[in-house]
């Protein structure tokens, strides 16, 4: 039967032979020394494992601290340079405040703006700034851009929805959206390209689908002519304008001029009547 020797609550040392228990007291000393040596070896091994574990934890904490400090430095560096959304917000803020000096700072020299309301795009910083000067002058003192959320994409791109307001009241048919491509110049973020889509005051509705169906049928029936037209649509438009100026304009332009003059006369009459009515009310309701 195997016996177990416990030395003051330490790890037990098993004895595989029962005959050793019957030996004299002085004969058990080598076995006690062996158990003590094993216990000391276990304590040294556990101590070494504990020391290595503490060193590993300390190294891991140091690494985490270095990574955290590095990330903080990177975040502080990134936050110091403006993002595309901040640049777009600054763009519309400068337009509302008519701050042309700061507008020039965020417009690239090779800026390219494609506005769907214009037949030709705006190319170059000079042409873009001329347009922005005319825009700020046309807005007056009470018309402002009100922008919604700015959505950022990849490669310094951003999109924004906006509309015009007069004294915080939305003006009809002035909703639009703009898409910007920015680039970094040193510590600045500048606008390189922009595409502007504005709400049309004409709402054809289902008529657009009918027109689209007609055009697609013509394109399918005349594929070669369609390819030529899509490659050079400006040629067709020039011919249409020439035909209009030769055959239609001599008859239509006088009618349009008379129509415009009639409405100008009606507007002046209504304005005079309104002023007269206001003067009469001021006399009788003082």
Mean per-residue pLDDT over the chain, rounded? 78
Q: Which CA distances in Å does 17 have to 3, 245, 272? A: 8, 123, 128
Which tens digit of pLDDT belongs to each residue from 126-163?
999 999 999 999 999 999 999 998 999 888 999 999 99
Q: Which fold does the domain 84-198 belong to in CATH?
A: Nuclear Transport Factor 2; Chain: A, (3.10.450)
Domains in the chain: boundaries: 3-77, 84-198, 206-281
Q: Say how far apart CA 174 and CA 200 lie, in whole Å.
A: 8
Q: Say how far apart CA 35 and CA 28 lie, in whole Å.
A: 11
Query: Taking 60 as the threshold, does the pLDDT of residue 8 lie above it?
Result: no
C-beta separation of 116 from 198 below 8 A: yes
Q: Say how far apart CA 88 and CA 148 lie, in whole Å.
A: 11
Predicted confidence at residue 266, as pLDDT, reads 92
Per-residue tokens: 181: 């491509």
Structure-model confidence comparison of residues 35 and 2, the more confident one: 35
Q: How confident is the model at residue 195 (pLDDT cuts 50, 70, 90)?
A: very high
C-beta separation of 108 from 192 below 8 A: yes
Query: Taking 50 as the threshold, does the pLDDT of residue 186 lie above it?
Result: yes
Query: Taking 50 as the threshold, does the pLDDT of residue 31 lie above it?
Result: no
Query: Taking 60 as the threshold, does the pLDDT of residue 33 lie above it?
Result: no
Neighbours of 283 (CB within 10 A): 7
Structure-model confidence comparison of residues 180 and 56, the more confident one: 180
């Amino acid at each position: 039967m195997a016996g177990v020797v416990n030395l003051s609550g330490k790890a037990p040392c098993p004895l595989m032979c029962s005959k050793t228990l019957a030996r004299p007291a002085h004969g058990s000393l080598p076995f006690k020394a062996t158990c003590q040596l094993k216990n000391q070896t276990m304590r040294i091994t556990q101590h070494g494992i504990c020391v290595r574990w503490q060193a590993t934890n300390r190294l891991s904490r140091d690494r985490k601290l270095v990574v955290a400090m590095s990330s903080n430095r990177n975040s502080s560096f990134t936050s110091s340079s403006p993002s595309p959304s901040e640049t777009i917000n600054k763009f519309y803020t400068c337009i509302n405040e008519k701050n042309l000096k700061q507008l020039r700072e965020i417009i690239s020299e090779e800026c390219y703006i494609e506005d769907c309301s214009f037949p030709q795009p705006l190319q170059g910083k000079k042409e873009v700034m001329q347009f922005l000067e005319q825009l700020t002058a046309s807005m007056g003192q009470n018309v402002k851009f009100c922008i919604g959320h700015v959505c950022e994409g990849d490669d310094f791109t951003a999109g924004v929805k906006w509309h015009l307001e007069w004294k915080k009241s939305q003006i009809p048919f002035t909703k639009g959206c703009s898409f910007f491509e920015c680039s970094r110049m040193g510590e600045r973020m500048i606008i390189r390209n922009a595409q502007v889509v504005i709400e049309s005051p004409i709402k054809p509705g289902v008529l657009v689908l009918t027109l689209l169906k007609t055009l697609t049928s013509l394109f399918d029936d005349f594929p070669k002519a369609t390819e030529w037209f899509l490659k050079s649509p400006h040629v067709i438009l020039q011919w249409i304008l020439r035909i209009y100026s030769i055959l239609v304009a001599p008859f239509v332009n006088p009618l349009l001029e008379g129509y415009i003059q009639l409405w100008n006369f009606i507007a002046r009459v209504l304005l005079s009547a309104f002023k007269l009515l206001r003067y009469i009310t001021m006399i009788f309701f003082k």
